[in-house]
Each structure stands twice: as structure tokens, then as C-alpha cells.
Amino acid sequence: MRAAASRFWASVDNLSPETVALILAIGLVVGVFPVFGIPTLLCTLAAVTLRLNLPALQLINQLSSPLQLALLIPLARAGAHVMGGPGSWSVAAAARAAVVGWFCLCVPLGVGLYFILVFTLRRANRQCFNRFETS
């Protein structure tokens, strides 16, 4: 885990706090998308579209894959609740319910996570800059 963290911070070393926050938020939110294989494609599309660091985004995506498995059933249940019916036993209906649950829960939480990360990274950046300025 330390090796992955050091690789991530090395790859985003010269990026702005907003860009780092965007990479982290998109990587986590898209990384828990409940259909296997799709998060990698969505992260690549997001990196190309938003001109983000693709290796860093894919690293966060891969690190969040255990969360994808852990959240599969809760997202399917939340999606079934939003769609107004009991969960179906077919794979297609369960996947559809999980995607609906992901849109309803993970996307808004990801937007909130982005703003929290921007605030935190800007503050940490300022404190680090002030330390170098006073010494």
C-alpha cells in the first residue's frame, strides 16, 4: 500500500490541488461502478476528456476495486428501493438496480468528496508553502 501511495504522490507532484482532488474523486467514484470491467473504461474516458493523469487515475481505480465488490449488494438494494420494487433475482435486473443505486448514492457523494479534498489539499499546500517561507 505504501508503494502505491508513493507512486501516486510522485505522479501528481506538480499538479494543482484541484486536479489532484478531481483525480481522487473520479477514481474512487468510478472505481466502485457496479459492473465489472466498466470502471477501467470510464476512468480512461474521464482522463482523456478532462486531460487528467491516466496512470494516477487508474491507480486509484484499481485500489478501489475491493470497494466495488463490497458495495455491490448495498448498491443493488438501494437501486431496487429507488426503482420501487423488490430486488429481482435476474442478473440483468440486479445490475440495473446496482447502477441506479450507484448514480443515486456515489455520484453525489463524489461531488461532496471533491470539494472536501480541494479544501483539504489547498490548506495542506498553504501550510507546506508557509513552512518553507519561514525557514
Q: Which domain holds residue 37?
A: 2-134
- Which of the four pLDDT bands, split at 50, 70 and 90, describes residue 132? low
Please give the C-alpha separations between residue 6 and each of 2, 3, 11, in angstroms, as whole numbers. 6, 5, 9
* pLDDT tens-digit map of 69-105: 999 999 999 998 998 876 567 888 889 999 999 999 9
**Residue 91: per-residue pLDDT:** 86
Question: What integer pLDDT is reported at residue 127 of this predicted model?
Answer: 75
pTM comes to: 0.86
Read off the C-alpha cell for 44: 480512461
43-52 tens-digit pLDDT:
999 999 999 9
- Number of domains the chain contains: 1
